[in-house]
Amino acid sequence: MASELNKLTIAEASSKLHAREISATQLTRDCLDRIAAAEPRLHAFITVCEKEALEQARAADARLAAGNAPALCGIPLGIKDIYATRGVRTTCASRILEHFVPPFDATVIERLRADGAIFIGKTNLDEFAMGSSTENSAFGATTNPHDISRVAGGSSGGSAAAVAAHECLGSLGTDTGGSIREPASFCGVVGIKPTYSRVSRYGVIAYASSLDQVGPFAKSVRDAAIMLRTLAGKDVRDSTCSARPVPDYERALTGDVKGLRIGVPREFFVEGMQPEVEQSVRAALKNFESGGASTVEISLPHTGYAVAAYYLIATAEASANLARYDGIRYGLRVNAEDNIALYETTRAQGFGAEVKRRIMLGTFALSAGYYDAYYLKGQKVRTLIRNDFERAFERCDLIVTPVAPTTAFKLGEKMNDPLTMYLSDIFTISVNLAGLPGMAMPCGYDSNNLPIGMQLIAPPFAEEIILRAGDAFERTGAFKPRTPAV
Amino acid sequence: MNTEAYEAVIGLEVHTHLLTRSKIFCGCSTTFGAGPNENVCPICMGMPGVLPVLNRRVVELAIRTGLAAHCTIAPYSIFDRKSYFYPDLPKGYQISQYETPICKGGYIDLPAKENGEARRVRLTRIHIEEDAGKNIHHENASLVDFNRSGVPLIEIVSEPDLRSAEDAGAYLRQLRAILRYVDASDGKMEEGSFRCDCNVSVRKRGATEYGVRTEIKNLNSFRFVEDAIDYEVGRQIAIVEAGGKVAQETHLWDPTRKETRPMRSKEFANDYRYFPEPDLPPLVVPPEMVEQVRASMPELPADRKARYVREGLTEYEAGVLIADRGVADYFEATLPGLKNRKSAANWVMTEVLRIARESDRPFTEAVPPATKVGALLLMVEAQKISLNAAKTAFAAMVKSGKGAEATIAELGLAQVSDESAIAAAIDKVLAAEPAKLAEYRAGRDKLFGFFVGAVMKAMGGKANPTVINQLLRAKLAG
């Protein structure tokens, strides 16, 4: 434990690894030690891959010694347990996939593997990414490293907590309605949801296909940029994935926000939100202004309909996406007298309450006679929300909002009230509906010493603007990270 | 029961596999007959996280079929998910096309009836979808083979324009011929690559409203389709005649008991909950792609038939030859150098098709190469061999695989046209049959045939019959 290399950023560790000042094996061991110490309180991981990680570390060391290794070579990462990883069980935090070992890698896993990244473990999540607190995991909740009586956020809570607690240097999450940005905000780390189609979804267990997007968690904006460069880009196995060339995101980090026009949507500063959240985000806006940026109030008038539209579209897609878990080919099977009874008992025992709730909602929204009133209406609202953003971006280059109305809430606080839970994503959901890139990054703490996150939103494929602004904010030193309690 | 007072109204839905090497959304092979679950991968097994990628060849073949059936090709169509639970359906939904099929409208012309009445069957649509796997039931267990899962299909839906089982059979044969012509499908019903569901209703002749229809499934031969329709039409007429009402249900054809029986409602009462497939972008077919496909289209059966008739064959002959593209291509390959197309047509229709029927092997493997048969026919036309000798030679060629010339030489079948040899044979026959000769000369003309036969026999069957006729007539005349 003495060396604590796990506390390094990716950029720092990478330069030390390439300079052979440290070894990937040592770095990995420090992460594993940290995991062993912190996991009893955090439960950020479903599966820790100690043996595999150390093997990968040895291979990375050989590659680093040979020279010319990629930036992520030897960097230990946490992988949300929603990514198919060849030979390592992939549960999606569900009983129905508890023992499922995929025979293939997700495209992004393949890319990270090719770069020599180290997969230290599979991180916890809300079952099938359905939730905002990681309390819906079939294997128990993840706690917040800043206060273990509170949630880490969700659905990618394990990935956010693991990075915040230095159990790994970076991690992968997925974001369908805020599942990267909300836990990033709650845990005080950087999390990016890229433009829809920027990153391949192949091998990422689908929740809502038209909204799901892959993204990184990191300790700094620079680290997130380094990871995104490896993740992004065309994939022949995902026909919804964009062929646009991937820029070198790190080069966008100029530290300069002069002339940047920042839109501040009035609908995102609502009554009832925690006052410290608003204060902290407003302070960050002032910080941008002193760096030479300008702010302008904008309106996104259909924001109020986003949550409703999301829960029609996402659940409809989920109801079909989760139909494959039928007990026939893989995963849990509960035998019964005929195939229909087999489906019923398998799915009744295999899925948790929130997953069942959403499958039923989605099935209803697609049923004969209801399609036009629900699913189709949801899609129309989606178009209106997209148009809102298009109009807004005529007046600004970047939109800044809070990530969530509050800081991390208490474990159990919202579990019996799904509707209140759904409102945790009120500021993030419209970004998914519009397919835009959004980043959460810490901008302050509340009086309980809990991180506050701000959200940076840009037009499609303008991740560089977000990264440049976020990095510039970090450089001002206005935000001083505090060591988490765990 | 007055069945004459009723008419049947029939529409068909045909599902046919497309002849692609790989599946519609993954790279797995489509080969029929592999061991169980050999042609599978995470994608066609519906593993978590996998995504479909559309096979371009599927789109081309769907367009070819659409153009052959005079359809409008949609410049923009989308894929939809059709949800239902069944063990052979790995994702719990089938990727299909619902509101926007790739081909709309169109028609298929059937061969005219004997009374010359033309028959045009309008099509509603053709759409692209994926096939499911196959359940195999054992005594104590059910197994699933996913080799067929993800094999590309098109569904061809006709308007209710058919009026009899015979019409339905003619439509299916014509449709299959077209699919084979454009290389879209092999049309093999026995391998399940060409399947048909029938929608059948009856109404009083002259009525304009449709009756209540039933859908019949499980029809895997043309015979079954025709038998099932006949049975179902009879059943429905009997119900209506007895004052009853036909129930709108789905029936299965039981080929052993030769009857249809309703499926349990549980087996088909699905709300498919169609919605646009978010994993596939819209299918955009630019006009250039349609034109490219059109330029690569082969001559279609109707056009080919018309050409054969223009070139001197009868409607019937042309119809038999074009029914199968392989046969028509074969016929044409026998033609180079031949003056008489009709004799080639007859030869293919009788000798060649007989061999093909008697064999279990595919047509092209069962029969001698067309060029060799063409060479044989050229020898007949040049009177180097008799028609009978050609038949003998053909039978030998089927077995040996040798060429026409070699076979004729080997069997000594070459025809003798040498007048002096034939004249000598005639003299011998006439000398040996003085009684018959006298009878003939006394006016029994019928004996001419006897003498021809005797001379041919004396010549070992190889003499040119025209020469025999000429010389014999002169000699008999004295």
Tallying the residues shown for chain A, one arrives at 486
The pLDDT-based confidence of B470 (bands split at 50, 70, 90) is: confident
- Structural domain for B457, as ranges: 419-476
The strand pairing partners of B261, in sequence order, are B252
The strand pairing partners of B108, in sequence order, are B121
Instruction: Please give the residue of chain A at the shortest CA–CA distance from B93.
Output: A320
C-alpha distance from residue B292 to each of B103, B178, B287 (Å): 16, 19, 9
- The residue written with tokens 């997969």 in the block is A119
B361 in the same domain as B310: yes
pLDDT per residue over B310-347, tens digit each?
A: 999 998 899 889 988 889 999 999 999 999 899 999 99
B168 in the same domain as B58: yes
B363 in the same domain as B268: no
Q: Is the pLDDT of residue B34 over 90?
A: yes
Q: How many Cα atoms occupy the beta-carbon half-sphere of A384 within 13 Å? A: 16
B190 in the same domain as B147: yes
B459 in the same domain as B337: no
Residue B275 touches chain A, beta carbons under 8 Å: yes
Dihedral angle sign, alpha carbons of residues B388, B452, B467, B415: positive
Q: Is the pLDDT of residue B266 over 60?
A: no
Residue B78 touches chain A, beta carbons under 8 Å: no
Distance from CA of B106 to the nearest CA of A (A): 29
In this structure, the number of other CB atoms found within 10 A of the CB of residue B269 comes to 9
Question: Residue B48 and residue A368: Cβ atoms within 8 Å?
Answer: no
The pLDDT-based confidence of B476 (bands split at 50, 70, 90) is: confident
B207 in the same domain as B166: yes
Residue A81 touches chain B, beta carbons under 8 Å: no
A155 tagged catalytic? yes
Contacts of B43 (CB under 8 A, 6+ apart): B25, B26, B28, B50, B51, B52, B150
CA distance A107 to A240: 13
Contacts of A204 in chain B (CB under 8 A): 49
CA distance A457 to A439: 7
pLDDT per residue over A258-295, tens digit each?
A: 999 999 999 998 788 899 999 999 999 999 999 999 99
Q: For residues B387 and B380, is the Cβ–Cβ distance under 8 A?
A: yes
| CATH code of the domain occupying A5-251 | 3.90.1300.10
Q: B139 — phi, psi (to 5°)?
A: -55, -50
Ramachandran class of A332: left when φ > 0, alpha when ψ lies in -120 to 50, beta otherwise: beta
The three-class DSSP label of residue A443 is: strand
The pLDDT-based confidence of B265 (bands split at 50, 70, 90) is: low
pLDDT value for B424:
87
The pLDDT-based confidence of B268 (bands split at 50, 70, 90) is: low
B451 in the same domain as B362: no
CA distance A143 to A39: 10
Range from A199-213, A399-413, B276-290, B463-477 carrying the lowest mean pLDDT:
B463-477
The pLDDT-based confidence of B1 (bands split at 50, 70, 90) is: low
Question: Residue A326 and residue B54: Cβ atoms within 8 Å?
Answer: no
List the pLDDT tens digit at each of the 486 positions of chain A: 458 999 999 999 999 999 999 999 999 999 999 999 999 999 999 999 999 999 999 999 999 999 999 999 999 999 999 999 999 999 999 999 999 999 999 999 999 999 999 999 999 999 999 999 999 999 999 999 999 999 999 999 999 999 999 999 999 999 999 999 999 999 999 999 999 999 999 999 999 999 999 999 999 999 999 999 999 999 999 999 999 999 999 999 999 999 999 999 999 987 888 999 999 999 999 999 999 999 999 999 999 999 999 999 999 999 999 999 999 999 999 999 888 999 999 999 999 999 999 999 999 999 988 999 999 999 999 999 999 999 999 999 999 999 999 999 999 998 888 888 888 899 999 999 999 999 999 999 999 999 999 999 999 999 999 999 999 999 999 999 999 988
Q: Which of B382, B411, B440 is the last residue of a domain?
A: B411
Contacts of A459 (CB under 8 A, 6+ apart): A389, A393, A397, A436, A465
Q: Which of B358, B382, B411 is the last residue of a domain?
A: B411
**Which position has the higher pLDDT, B420 or A59?**
A59
Asked if omega into B149 is within 30° of 0 (cis), the reply is no
Instruction: Please give the residue of chain A at the shortest CA–CA distance from B90.
Output: A324
B214 in the same domain as B133: yes
Q: Which of B395, B411, B427 is the last residue of a domain?
A: B411
Residue B141 touches chain A, beta carbons under 8 Å: no
pLDDT value for A41:
97
B227 in the same domain as B168: yes
Tokens of B307: 């050409």
ipTM over 0.85: yes
Contacts of A319 in chain B (CB under 8 A): 83, 273
Q: For residues A221 and A470, is the Cβ–Cβ distance under 8 A?
A: yes
CA distance B239 to A426: 61
Which of B51, B95, B98 to probe the A interface (max A CBs under 10 A)? B51
The pLDDT-based confidence of B387 (bands split at 50, 70, 90) is: confident
CA distance B384 to B13: 53
Distance from CA of A84 to the nearest CA of B (A): 7
CA distance A225 to A234: 17
Instruction: Please give the residue of chain B at the shortest CA–CA distance from A207.
Output: B49
Residue B142 touches chain A, beta carbons under 8 Å: yes
Q: Name the residue facing A324 among B52, B91, B273 (closest C-beta).
A: B91
CA distance B246 to B242: 11
Which of A329, A374, A383 to probe the B interface (max B CBs under 10 A)? A329
Q: Name the residue facing B49 among A202, A340, A368 (closest C-beta).
A: A202
pLDDT value for A2:
58
Residue A366 touches chain B, beta carbons under 8 Å: yes
pLDDT value for A247:
97
Residue B137 touches chain A, beta carbons under 8 Å: no
How far, rounded to the nearest angstrom, does the alpha carbon of residue B442 sit from its chain's CA centroid? 57
CA nearest neighbour of A207 among A131, A306, A104, A294:
A131
pLDDT value for B218:
78
B317 in the same domain as B240: no
pLDDT value for A1:
45
Q: Is the pLDDT of residue B478 over 80?
A: no
Instruction: Please give the residue of chain A at the shortest CA–CA distance from B91.
Output: A324
pLDDT average, residue stretch B439-454: 88
B314 in the same domain as B283: no
Residue B144 touches chain A, beta carbons under 8 Å: yes
The span from the first CA to the last CA of chain A, in angstroms, equals 15
pLDDT value for B145:
97
CA distance B389 to B408: 8
Contacts of A143 (CB under 8 A, 6+ apart): A41, A42, A43, A149, A150, A151, A152, A161, A411, A486
Q: Name the residue facing A368 among B48, B50, B271 (closest C-beta).
A: B271
Which of A210, A328, A376, A382 to probe the B interface (max B CBs under 10 A)? A328
CA distance B182 to B302: 13
B202 in the same domain as B112: yes
CA distance A84 to A90: 6
Q: Exposed e or buried b for every residue in B361-385, given b needs 16+ CB within 10 A?
A: eebeeebbebebbbbbbbbbeeebb
Residue B457: CATH number of its domain: 1.10.10.410
Contacts of B161 (CB under 8 A, 6+ apart): B11, B120, B121, B122
pLDDT value for B269:
59
Which position among A80, A122, A193, A219 bears the catalytic label? A80
Which position among A23, A94, A132, A155 bears the catalytic label? A155
pLDDT value for B323:
85
Number of domains in chain B: 3
Q: Is the pLDDT of residue B112 over 80?
A: no
CA nearest neighbour of A450 among A272, A187, A218:
A187
Contacts of A341 in chain B (CB under 8 A): none
Contacts of A97 in chain B (CB under 8 A): 48
The pLDDT-based confidence of B461 (bands split at 50, 70, 90) is: confident
Question: Residue A363 and residue B50: Cβ atoms within 8 Å?
Answer: no
Question: Residue A239 and residue B271: Cβ atoms within 8 Å?
Answer: no
Residue A83 touches chain B, beta carbons under 8 Å: yes
pLDDT value for B267:
52
- The residue written with tokens 């926000």 in the block is A257
